[in-house]
């Protein structure tokens, strides 16, 4: 310990080698030491390797602990299976007990029955979901983590659903590009009838084998997952058990990956007939890297030109002529039946000329409109999407009226923000949202009209009332540019439904993947300043017993800090962050914006830690994350906030 004129200081000696050693240790144990393994699986799969010993990786301690962390972070962990257990059951286990029990399960896997529940679909019907028991979910997560990098190396670039770093926005851009730039104005829609319930198990296993997944022990475990008994309880509390012979139950962790494996064969069958077709001659790429020279030559053949875009089981083929679209329609429906044993719904499958009619995809309706000499794609919310939004918001408004709390205001705002974030890619979203706003504004006014404080003001010699309302920091940041007078409930403004403008969606870079260093660099470069899902999570999860100002400022801080820790600069995990008072409340600090900052839990503990061993523990966790060039400035800022709360400063001597 050394003393300073200003304050006492804790002197923790680290030489440069020690700091670098800690950094290497953290990097080596990223994802519990599994990142290097996943990268290797991805690279080997891309090179055509056959994998026949995957169970050793799946049942490794590191993979099990990573799976547990993923399950714990998922909100679905609070949902019980047929045994009534949730994630809390796993949390209570000691680490080694959790690992050993999971290993024993994998050695002789016998899944428990799956609890079937029904949730409403957009069309008013019910969708069956299968909820496995929590330990079976852990097993499935262990398997998914190892299979995903293998499959990602083999999946088609035009597949976007249930894949890491890909989302609906990317599929929309691909589709719009085909219509706008590619001038493919005919769209083939084929609706697969009951896809998730009709997947052929034997065919799926063969498809996995052809992808290189040839570990027979793993195949047996997956077969048991697919054939796990389904338990369903009716309204009279009668339980029936069924044993599935086909399908991948929606709700299981493995199901999305398995469904992509099934349809991956369709993806490649379509793209190999035109876009990826092998030709005897090697055609020169265009200056932009396109294959226009190759396609120009192919158009002189009898081949049918078509471009695929798929999101889960919803796919489209874009064509230039009606004749090509008709040929694709019949070819695809026949192939699905003969190759995958899947039927299609004739009433939902069709061919659309976008100049005349419209086509729906992922909640948006698309149609071509003439602009000068060009045809340009325009998009709106579908009628079904608008109706669903109105119903959802009406239900939440009624809930808010019955139980007028800040939490319910936040839930309503979260629903509005979520719809805005998704539908802002529609070119006419402002018209759609304005229409919805008009339909709901009277309901909001009638249910929450209160005595408004007002001041009288003279305009051109005439007295008028200027209503005053609360416009907090979050509202100003998100909707301050819109000329809406918000409805205020619990001193919080409800977000304006019509407060939105169109934003062009961003396409996907095919090099992006979490399973290569280059891919991860691109992910980091392409991160948005603030993830809308993170923002919604913060809105929906206010801190209990804290002021409305405090909880609102948490939202504003997350945006202002670009979703990063105020001290380390690293991205914050919204489930693992805390809001720090720069001047503590017991010293007169308040919940105003300027007195708060968001930091990770480890950093927050380090700011308030007083014991040497505690400080040592958290320094060893945090320092390896700090770039060497920022090391001294980090310690300086850390000490500033430690001194503000009345703690000693820390001195680290680097020899």
Residue 49 tokens, joined: 């390797």
pLDDT of residue 23: 37
Q: Do residues 1 and 11 touch, judged by C-beta distance below 8 A?
A: yes
Q: Do residues 366 and 179 touch, judged by C-beta distance below 8 A?
A: yes
- In this prediction, the residues of the chain whose per-residue pLDDT falls under 50 are 1-9, 15-29, 31, 451-455, 458-460, 463-470
Q: Do residues 184 and 307 touch, judged by C-beta distance below 8 A?
A: yes
Strand-pair partners of 114: 230
pLDDT of residue 96: 86
- Maximum C-alpha span of the chain: 88
pLDDT of residue 4: 42
Number of C-beta neighbours around residue 145 at 10 A: 22
pLDDT of residue 526: 60
Pairing label, strands 8-13, 374-381: unpaired
Q: How far apart are CA 43 and CA 150, in angstroms?
A: 8
pLDDT of residue 468: 43
Encode pLDDT of 7-42 as tens digits: 444 555 554 444 444 333 333 335 467 888 999 999
Angle at 461 between CA 456 and CA 467, to 5 degrees: 25
Q: Do residues 155 and 516 touch, judged by C-beta distance below 8 A?
A: no
């Amino acid at each position: 310990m050394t003393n300073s004129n200003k304050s006492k200081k804790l002197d923790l000696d680290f030489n440069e080698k020690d700091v670098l050693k800690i950094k290497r240790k953290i990097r080596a144990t990223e994802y519990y030491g599994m990142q290097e393994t996943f990268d290797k699986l991805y690279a080997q799969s891309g090179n055509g390797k056959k994998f026949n010993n995957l169970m050793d990786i799946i049942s490794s301690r590191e993979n099990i602990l990573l799976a547990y962390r993923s399950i714990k972070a998922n909100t679905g962990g609070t949902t019980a299976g047929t045994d009534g257990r949730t994630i809390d059951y796993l949390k209570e286990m000691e680490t080694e007990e959790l690992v050993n029990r999971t290993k024993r399960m994998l050695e002789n896997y016998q899944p428990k029955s799956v609890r079937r529940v029904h949730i409403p679909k957009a069309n008013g019907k019910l969708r069956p979901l299968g909820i496995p028991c929590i330990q079976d979910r852990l097993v499935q997560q262990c398997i998914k983590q190892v299979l995903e990098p293998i499959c990602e190396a083999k999946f088609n670039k035009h597949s976007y659903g249930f894949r890491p770093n890909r989302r609906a926005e990317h599929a929309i851009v691909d589709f719009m590009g085909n219509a706008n730039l590619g001038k493919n104005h005919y769209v083939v829609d084929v609706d697969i009838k009951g896809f998730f319930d009709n997947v052929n198990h034997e065919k799926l296993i063969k498809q996995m084998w052809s992808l290189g997944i040839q570990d027979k022990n793993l195949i047996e475990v997956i077969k048991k997952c697919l054939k796990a008994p389904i338990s369903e309880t009716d309204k009279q509390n009668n339980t029936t058990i069924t044993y599935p012979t086909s399908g991948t139950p929606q709700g299981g962790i493995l199901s999305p990956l398995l469904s992509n494996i099934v349809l991956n064969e369709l993806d490649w069958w379509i793209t190999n007939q035109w876009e990826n077709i092998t030709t005897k001659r090697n055609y020169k790429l265009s200056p932009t890297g396109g294959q226009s020279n190759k396609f120009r030559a192919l158009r002189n053949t009898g081949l049918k030109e078509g471009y695929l875009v798929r999101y889960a089981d919803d796919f489209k083929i874009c064509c230039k002529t009606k004749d090509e679209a008709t040929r694709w329609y019949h070819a695809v429906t026949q192939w699905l039946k003969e190759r995958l044993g899947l039927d299609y719904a004739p009433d939902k499958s069709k061919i659309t000329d976008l100049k005349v009619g419209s086509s729906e995809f992922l909640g948006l309706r698309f149609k071509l409109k003439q602009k000068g000499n060009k045809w340009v794609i325009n998009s709106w919310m579908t009628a079904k999407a608008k109706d669903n939004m109105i119903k959802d918001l009406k239900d939440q408004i009624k809930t808010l009226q019955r139980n007028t709390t800040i939490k319910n205001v936040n839930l309503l705002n979260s629903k509005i923000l979520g719809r805005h974030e998704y539908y802002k890619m529609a070119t006419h979203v402002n018209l759609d949202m304005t229409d919805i706003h008009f339909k709901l504004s009277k309901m909001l006014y009638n249910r929450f009209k209160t005595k408004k404080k007002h001041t009288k003001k003279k305009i051109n010699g005439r007295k008028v009332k200027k209503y005053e309302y609360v416009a907090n920091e979050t509202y100003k940041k998100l909707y301050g540019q819109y000329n809406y007078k918000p409805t205020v409930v619990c001193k919080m403004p409800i977000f304006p439904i019509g407060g939105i403008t169109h934003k062009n969606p961003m396409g996907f870079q095919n090099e992006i993947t979490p399973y290569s260093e280059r891919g991860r660099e691109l992910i980091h470069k392409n991160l948005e300043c603030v993830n809308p899902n993170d923002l919604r999570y913060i809105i929906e999860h206010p801190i209990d017993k804290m002021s409305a100002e405090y909880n609102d400022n948490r939202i504003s801080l997350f945006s202002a800090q670009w979703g990063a820790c105020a001290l380390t600069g690293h991205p914050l995990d919204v489930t693992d962050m805390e809001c720090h008072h720069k001047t503590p409340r017991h010293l007169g600090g308040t919940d105003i914006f300027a007195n708060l900052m968001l930091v990770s839990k480890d950093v927050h503990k380090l700011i308030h830690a007083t014991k040497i061993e505690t400080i040592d523990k958290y320094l060893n966790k945090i320092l390896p994350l700090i770039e060497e060039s920022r090391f001294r400035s980090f310690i300086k800022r850390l000490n500033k906030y430690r001194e503000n709360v009345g703690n000693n400063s820390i001195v680290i001597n680097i020899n």
